Structure 1
């Protein structure tokens, strides 16, 4: 019998999409006449639901987004993911958690269709079938609200204190904390170190996640 649930974020944790997304956000903001640095783009958009990011973008622009413009850039987001790769050690992390007897799922700020594409494109769909996928599209509020994590835990039959979230963004860390779950921060070259101040521990190697989960749940 499984002794805990490991809740993986998708972008930046399982799939190396954030650098592609930041590139596209850069083109989007420039096209709207905004001048944001890569660091500002990361702070503003990374780790948050697309529905929330589009509201932020409209606020920065000072007017509603043109639907045709938005459709064009959503197409560009999808096209950029043709370059998508798995995060190093991510498959080992998922397989290791399963081998250790933990249940797993993915809870993402991505739209459901985008989440499914990313898992298929990186060969993770076999380990994370449809019933183990949860999107912010299914809840009222995206991260940093805890809704998608609490939804995933409820659907999987776990109390929050028996769950470990693996996240790479500030919004995700805050969401995991607000959900009352243990939080592992995955730090990459895309993530400011200060984001992980409230994580239980920080890893730079995804393959170390199973051992870290065991340590947190044992404690």
Structure 2
């Protein structure tokens, strides 16, 4: 967990667990471009749809192994250093997902405690939410895949967040934008709202309980699962 304490959470409420990339911040389209260039730098014929299929919605540590598997060799340290820097620089250009701030205002006003559980590394989560101004909603309640043994689609980071904040999985709802994230929520025993964007593959999010394509619809979607 990035911060200490539970931020005064009211234990009787339903915990809303947000993924970060593609749900709170519009980083996935930047990530697609960077992963495409990074894999081409390793000599692969690689396009945006390949980046979406292999990398989006997964933990950074798993993505490193995926890159090695796709090339058939360990990735050079200097390659990883260069492209990690590119990801960090991209954070300065981030914007919030349209409608998410309004949705969070309504969700918090309705008494729902909220947290972030992401495949991003901890410092990246902090930076992304600070740049977009969304940090004010979460009180430092950020959980990273670095803190658990397995990244999504394993349920570990969602279960870790729920346990740390004192909620049974049945009292949590996850908001996700990727099939690995939806699978992780399902494995955790948590209902899930899928957010569909123009990056969502055809047929994606089929296993979500509810699918929305406008974040302003999120409060009503959560109410339907309550």
> What's the TM-score bracket when you normalise by the shorter of the two chains?
over 0.9
Q: Which moved more, 1:136-145 or 1:202-211?
A: 202-211
What RMSD, in angstroms, separates the aligned Cα atoms of the two structures? 1.0
4+ runs of 1 displaced by more than 2 Å?
none
Task: Say which SS state the counterpart of residue 149 (structure 2) adopts.
Answer: coil
1:128 aligned to which of 128, 134, 138: 138
Query: For structure 1, which segment, 93-102 or 48-57, has the greater mean C-alpha deviation from structure 2 after superposition?
Result: 93-102
Determine if the alignment matches structure 1 residue 169 to structure 2 residue 178: yes
Q: What is aligned with 2:78? A: 68
Structure 1 residue 37: deviation in Å?
A: 2.1
1:95 equivalent among 102, 105, 120: 105
Q: For 2:168, which of 159, 176, 192 is the aligned residue? A: 159
Which residue is equivalent to 1:51?
A: 61
Of the three residues 157, 161, 167, the one matched with 1:148 is: 157
Q: Deviations over 1:114-169 (max 9, x none)?
A: 01000000001111122x11110111100000000000111111111111100001
Structure 1 residue 202: Cα displacement? 0.3
Q: For the residues of structure 1 that align with 2:165 and 2:61, how far apart are their CA atoms?
A: 25
Question: Tell me, which stretches of 5 or more residues in structure 2 are unaligned?
Answer: 1-9
Alignment gaps of 5+ in structure 1: none
Q: Does 1:139 align with 2:111?
A: no
- TM-score normalised over the length of structure 1: 0.96
Name 2:124's counterpart in structure 1. 114
- 1:179 alignment partner in structure 2: 188
Deviations 1:54-107 (A, max 9, x none): 000011111111111110110011112221110001111222111111111010
Partner of 2:3: none
TM-score (norm. length: structure 2): 0.93
Give 1:11 deviation, angstroms: 0.2
Matched residue SS, 2:117:
strand
SS at match of 1:53: helix
CA shift for structure 1 position 193: 3.9
Which sits farther off after the overlay, 186-195 or 4-13?
186-195
Instruction: Indicate the SS of the match to 2:204.
Output: helix
Partner of 1:23: 33
May I ask how many residue pairs the two structures share in their alignment? 216
Q: Secondary structure at the match of 1:194?
A: coil
Alpha-carbon distance between aligned partners in 2 of 1:213 and 1:170, rounded to the nearest angstrom: 19
In 2, the alpha carbon distance for the partners of 1:68 and 1:95 equals 42
C-alpha separation between the residues in 1 aligned to 2:24 and 2:190? Answer: 19
